[in-house]
């Protein structure tokens, strides 16, 4: 039998995967009119950072890697490469969450923007090193800007739709004593 705390963590991880799956489903729908202009934001990446920085206890590394590895397969990217960079970024954010908790949202937005930029740069460098097909730099920059611009909207939407809020210092202290 699963106790209440573990049941909540499992339910939260399943909710995270369901939200990410809905975003991926929307991304895979053939809604374009044939003109491939501006790339859209990576809403799944924004949701992952919002979740990890608000409730780091609810989503572990395994659901994150599992989802982004499946996304690599479905979006025809090098298998596991973007999932690896997302794992590095999520764990870097998770490790610093306790220091970022009391900062204003603008500081969080700046830090997440820098982290996303470093992940995209690392991904691009590995693609160059292993002679993989590399997307046009202009498209990557536009996707980066769109992703960074949508981060506050995703955070607001996650707060409003699923009640994802920042963990308080008292809750963090209680979790540390229970662990």
pLDDT tens, residue by residue, 2-29? 666 678 788 888 999 999 999 999 988 8
* Domain assignment present for 49: yes
- Confidence (pTM): 0.89
Work out how many domains the chain is built from and give that number.
1
* Domain assignment present for 162: yes
Closest CA to 147 of 107, 108, 120, 125: 120
| Burial class of residue 103 in the structure, from the number of CB atoms within 10 Å of its CB (0-12 exposed, 13-18 middle, 19+ buried) | exposed
Cα–Cα distances in angstroms (integers) from residue 87 to residues 26, 31, 50, 79, 157, in the given order: 23, 30, 14, 14, 23
* Domain assignment present for 32: no
| Burial class of residue 109 in the structure, from the number of CB atoms within 10 Å of its CB (0-12 exposed, 13-18 middle, 19+ buried) | middle
The encoded tokens of residue 69 equal 């590895």
DSSP percent split of the chain into helix, strand, coil, nearest 5: 75, 0, 25
pLDDT tens, residue by residue, 30-53? 776 656 677 889 999 999 999 999
Q: What is the rounded end-to-end Cα distance, in angstroms, of the chain?
A: 19
pLDDT tens, residue by residue, 84-120? 999 999 999 999 888 888 889 999 999 999 999 999 9
Longest pairwise C-alpha distance within the chain: 55
- Structural domain span for residue 120: 4-25+39-178
């Amino acid at each position: 039998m699963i106790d209440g705390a573990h049941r909540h963590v499992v339910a939260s991880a399943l909710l995270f995967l369901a939200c990410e799956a809905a975003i991926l489903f929307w991304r895979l729908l053939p809604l374009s009119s044939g003109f491939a202009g501006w790339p859209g934001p990576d809403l799944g990446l924004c949701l992952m950072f919002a979740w990890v920085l608000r409730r780091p206890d609810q989503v572990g590394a395994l659901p994150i890697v599992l989802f982004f590895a499946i996304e690599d397969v479905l979006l025809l990217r090098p298998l596991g490469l973007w999932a690896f960079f997302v794992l590095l970024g999520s764990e870097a954010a998770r490790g610093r969450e306790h220091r970022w908790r009391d900062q204003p949202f603008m500081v969080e937005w700046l830090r997440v923007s820098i982290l996303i930029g470093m992940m995209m740069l690392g991904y691009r460098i590995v693609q160059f090193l292993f002679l993989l097909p590399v997307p046009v730099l202009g498209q990557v920059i536009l996707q980066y800007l769109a992703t960074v611009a949508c981060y506050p909207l995703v955070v607001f939407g996650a707060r409003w739709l699923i009640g994802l809020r920042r963990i308080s210092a008292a809750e963090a202290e209680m979790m540390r004593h229970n662990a």
